[in-house]
Amino acid sequence: MNKIKRYRLQATGYRLQAKKVKSLLLVACGLWLVAFLLGMASKPKPKVYIQKLKNGHYQLMVNRKPYIVKGVCYNPIPIGQNHEYDWWSDANKPWIVDGKLMQEMGINTVRFYQAGQNPEDVKKVIRDLYELYGIRTIIGHWLGFWEYPCPFYGDKDFQDRIKKEVLDMINTYKDEPGILFWVLGNENNYSCLGMVNPWSNEEIDKEPDPIKQKNMRYNIYYSFINELAKQIHSIDITHPVALGNGELIGLEIAAQSCPEVDLVACIIYRGKTFGNLFRSLKATFDKPIVLTEFGADSYDAYKDVEDQNMQAFFLESQWRQLYENLANNKEGIGNCLGGTIFEWTDEWWKHNENDPESWKIHDTDSNWSNGSYYFDIKAKGNKNMNEEWFGITAISQEQEFGIDKRIPRKAYYVLREFWKNPTKNLKPKTKKAK
């Protein structure tokens, strides 16, 4: 073999070696890329999150699947007891009977205004509902709204104490598989208007203009919620945080000072229609909404008689509008994620919470007036809202399974049918063609 040939062979060998190295490098890069992409793809998404679609609509996602909140507010106070009753530790477990009925109706979510005192009892309820019936839980916190003399949202010590309570709640329940999302407050924004539990501070008191005073209170309150939401997100990335709000009042301020919340959870009593609610929210504070308190009572205060048809009529109409405003419905705004009806069972203590004897009686006196529920608005003093008759399930003094017997009202069956085929039920009712 001459030199030239040897060099050629050597060169060929180097080229082959270089080719091999190149190929190996390419394969390695390819493998790294695949591994990287796989790694990206398999990075766990939050279990519950909100997705904004290309058309600007919102969807609640649970385990990567769209989830419509079909819920009820759940506070099963038995006859003869009041709101202080610790039903979470009830040995007869009312949620077992209720959960089965809920599941049969199509309910997938319950809302608790605030967790009970004993975390182990609360976890038991959440697990039973989820494991036995697939029902998920929304847990709220009152944020000291009912504290005496008033909720001092402008006071740092008050804020720190509430913050600790809220974060303790998150840490205690965030790993429960049944948790859907958190709600901060309920109608606490009304305290900024001075309508309920008014509060102030020195700076606000110095301001002579009442409109500016109101806006200062909103700013303080919603900034506090924002801070809470930020802290919750830092310890729990798997559940959204909702701002509880009475109507849409104050949300134009929240849009500036409360961007950290993932959704709003509104209390709305507007009768047959929610009106411009969804469009108005989109325009003022572009966040998705769950109606966490809405519904109708089943007592006609004018005729002084139970009227289950009236309740069913309002509830079906309300659910039709909720569905019209879910994502990907051309007719609606696409910012609705569902709702939780107020409420699952009647509560017999509500008319007069200071009189234990009245807790054993199903009062038919009305507590307040709302013209949106127009069938019985001609009742005396226009008081037509019967606080003890909002359940879609009545309770009876007769005992069954160790608890007050549950008697589903007409609304229960009407909504059960609605949810079986909501698309069909959304269509306007037209006359059959001949």
Partner 1 sequence: MKKLLVVLTAAVVVAITPYVFAQEQATKEAEKPQPKEFGVYKDKNARENHYIPSGWMGDYGDIKLNDQSADNPHSGTTSMQFVYSGKKAQGQGWAGVYWQNPANNWGSKKGGFDLTGMTKLTFWARGAKGAEVIQKFKVGGIKGTYPDSAEIEFGPIELTDTWKEYTINLAGRDLSYISAGFCWVTTSDLNPEGATFYLDDIKFEADLVMKAEVKKSEAMPFYVFADSRSINNHYIPSGWMGDYGDIKYDGASKEDPYLGDTCTKIIYTGLGAQGARWAGIYWQNPANNWGTVDAGFDLSKATKLTFWAKGAKGGERIEEFKVGGSMGEFSDSDSASIGPVILNKEWTQYSIDLKGKDMSYIIGGFCWATNVDVNPEGAMFYLDEIKFE
Taking the complex as a whole, the smallest distance from the CB of residue 286 to partner 1 amounts, in Å, to 12
Strands (E), 326-402: 336-341, 393-400
Taking the complex as a whole, the smallest distance from the CB of residue 190 to partner 1 amounts, in Å, to 13
Taking the complex as a whole, the smallest distance from the CB of residue 71 to partner 1 amounts, in Å, to 24
Taking the complex as a whole, the smallest distance from the CB of residue 431 to partner 1 amounts, in Å, to 16
Q: What are the DSSP calls for 228-295, one per residue?
A: HHHHHHHH-SSS-EEEEEETTTTHHHHHHH-TT-SEEEEE---TT--TTHHHHHHHH----EEEEEE-
Tokens of 278: 């969804």
Using the rule CB under 8 A, which residue among 177, 275, 356, 402 binds partner 1?
A: 275
Taking the complex as a whole, the smallest distance from the CB of residue 273 to partner 1 amounts, in Å, to 6
Give the HSE-up count for residue 134: Cα atoms under 13 Å, Cβ half-sphere: 10
Type of residue found at 250: G
Instruction: Say which residue the tokens 């997938």 belong to.
Output: 108
How many residues line the site for partner 1 (CB under 8 A)? 20
Q: Is 149 in the site for partner 1 (CB under 8 A)?
A: no
Taking the complex as a whole, the smallest distance from the CB of residue 116 to partner 1 amounts, in Å, to 35
Strands (E), 314-431: 336-341, 393-400, 403-408
Q: Is 273 in the site for partner 1 (CB under 8 A)?
A: yes
Alpha-carbon distance 389 to 259, whole Å?
37
Euclidean distance between the first and final Cα of the chain, in Å? Answer: 100
Whose Cβ is closer to partner 1: residue 29's or residue 283's?
Answer: 283
- From residue 103 to residue 142, the character string flagging contacts with partner 1 as x (rule: CB under 8 A) and all else as - is ----------------------------------------
Cα dist. 403→79, 91, 179, 400 in Å? 9, 10, 26, 6
Contacts of 147 (CB under 8 A, 6+ apart): none
Using the rule CB under 8 A, which residue among 127, 214, 383, 405 binds partner 1?
A: 214
Q: Is 209 in the site for partner 1 (CB under 8 A)?
A: yes
Q: Is 211 in the site for partner 1 (CB under 8 A)?
A: yes
Whose Cβ is closer to partner 1: residue 24's or residue 283's?
Answer: 283
Q: Is 56 in the site for partner 1 (CB under 8 A)?
A: no
Taking the complex as a whole, the smallest distance from the CB of residue 225 to partner 1 amounts, in Å, to 23
Task: Find the binding residues for partner 1 in span 352-381 (CB under 8 A).
Answer: 370-372, 374, 377
Q: Let me know: does 340 contact 138? Beta carbons within 8 Å.
A: yes
Whose Cβ is closer to partner 1: residue 130's or residue 269's?
Answer: 269
Identify any residues that bridge with 141 across adjacent strands, giving them in sequence order: 184
Around Cβ 357, how many Cβ atoms within 10 Å? Answer: 8
Whose Cβ is closer to partner 1: residue 47's or residue 272's?
Answer: 272
- From residue 164 to residue 203, the character string flagging contacts with partner 1 as x (rule: CB under 8 A) and all else as - is ----------------------------------------
Taking the complex as a whole, the smallest distance from the CB of residue 193 to partner 1 amounts, in Å, to 9
Whose Cβ is closer to partner 1: residue 193's or residue 426's?
Answer: 193
Query: Which of these segments, 108-116, 207-215, 296-304, 337-345, binds partner 1 (CB under 8 A)?
Result: 207-215
Q: Is 283 in the site for partner 1 (CB under 8 A)?
A: yes
Alpha-carbon distance 319 to 426, whole Å?
9
Q: Is 272 in the site for partner 1 (CB under 8 A)?
A: yes
Whose Cβ is closer to partner 1: residue 257's or residue 317's?
Answer: 317
Q: Let me know: does 246 contact 266? Beta carbons within 8 Å.
A: yes
Query: Which of these segments, 7-15, 80-88, 145-153, 276-284, binds partner 1 (CB under 8 A)?
Result: 276-284
Taking the complex as a whole, the smallest distance from the CB of residue 192 to partner 1 amounts, in Å, to 12
Whose Cβ is closer to partner 1: residue 196's or residue 377's?
Answer: 377
Type of residue found at 188: N
Alpha-carbon distance 258 to 251, whole Å?
9
Q: Is 284 in the site for partner 1 (CB under 8 A)?
A: yes
Neighbour-count burial of 39, counting CB atoms closer than 10 A to its CB (0-12 exposed, 13-18 middle, 19+ buried): exposed
Q: Is 163 in the site for partner 1 (CB under 8 A)?
A: no
Cα dist. 33→22, 103, 332 in Å? 16, 46, 42
Closest residue by Cα to residue 69 from 319, 420, 317, 279: 319
Residues forming the site for partner 1 (CB under 8 A)? 208-211, 214, 270-273, 275-276, 279-280, 283-284, 370-372, 374, 377
